[in-house]
Structure 1
């Protein structure tokens, strides 16, 4: 199994527990961090936005509410199980304009471009090639478009020590109780090899963005990469 298929399989297995684990392990703060990331790029009513690696859709739903009236979201994920949960949520809020697409971000089918903005939350590091993922994002955006990438900050300071302790001492042991220890062990591995903020900025500029700024959130535990075409 290649890396792309392995990651997709991982999220297929994790999907039923994903949201409850996020709430448990972050004390619900992941919702605050996602709203903070959106606040940095200011989605506006009537705009068209992308949510790449959308998972179970919680961020896409929040984003779609910012875009009312007249705006819409295209939410993309490679795994079927998270998208099934996302579609169920979306069906309960039919006033939100969201289209859900199952596809590999690095091998998207032909879709309209010219999006006003884009978000990727906890997904860029799961792509086989994050730099190429940023190139895809740039291609899909309007020449004046903007975006934000939210993820753990791969720092080595206190925040990094806290993250490592929480994952090894809390997250993985709890996940083992529902036979998902191996899947959640992957989390720390993926964070450890994810480029730091400076390298993310360089990747974004190489991908064609005119400006890229990485900002720490949550005391350095999280990082937001702001992008401008």
Structure 2
């Protein structure tokens, strides 16, 4: 397989964030980057355990909502260890191109090793880039589709990130944003927080990562509701935006078209 390229492109965004759309208890980008670097070696195993494998279904849904098709040039933003990038690769085929961008070199290293290990011919079309979601190293109207899986919640300036997504998308193209859902329903919120305290953190503690996964509860509390995600997309310039609740409202997927 052709070797993967990892470019260092950690450039700070120049626009001050809108406080309404900022979020996350981890206020420093360096702290957030370090957190995801620490969990990188076991991230995929924990995802399988904690979701009972269901995260693979949710990610396939997100990729389908992106509208990616054969021959497209697509981006998986905040790609982590590459799950959505690999699914996008299968969608666009060997004639298409996939960029996977993340701020954690450790996560990207896992993605590269998976690319070699899986050794699927179409995966040769994936390029891995270390970079910043609020300052994307791509020209205007570059991509036919973009996905963000469990990543926007951890970006400090979400409005700027959505502006950047809008900028690099071609007119008429779509971004699909999958993440935990900040529900307005008390029952859903109570159940999710119980699951984090009684399932997620205890399982993560078995890997020595209890502290790292305790941030989930507060990060979801500090995230945006489905309505707010629609609003931020429209404010960033998208012509349409619809947020779909999935998994009983525990998760959600924003679909926004440029």
Match among 94, 109, 114 for residue 137 of structure 2:
109
Instruction: Quote the offset at 1:112 in angstroms.
Output: 6.6
Partner of 2:103: 78
More RCO (CA 8 Å, sep 6+): 2
Correspondence 1:222 to 2:255: no
Instruction: Quote the offset at 1:144 in angstroms.
Output: 1.7
Distance 1:111 1:210 in 2: 20
Correspondence 1:122 to 2:147: no
TM-score by length of 2: 0.85
Partner of 2:161: 133
- 5 Å-filtered alignment, 1:1-229, equals 3-91=28-116, 92-96=119-123, 97-111=125-139, 113-155=141-183, 156-229=185-258
CA RMSD of aligned residues (A): 1.6
Distance 1:114 1:179 in 2: 41
Contact 2:94 2:122 in 1 (8 A): no
The SS at the match of 1:107 is coil
Instruction: Quote the offset at 1:203 in angstroms.
Output: 0.4
The C-alpha deviation readout for 1:117-174, integer Å capped at 9, x for no partner, is 1000000010011111111100110112111100011113433222111111111122
Contact 1:159 1:221 in 2 (8 A): yes
Gaps of 5+ in 1: none
The C-alpha deviation readout for 1:48-96, integer Å capped at 9, x for no partner, is 1110000000110011101114111111000011100101111223432
Bigger shift: 5-14 or 62-71? Answer: 62-71
Distance 1:113 1:39 in 2: 21
Distance 1:157 1:39 in 2: 30
TM-score by length of 1: 0.95
Gaps of 5+ in 2: 1-25
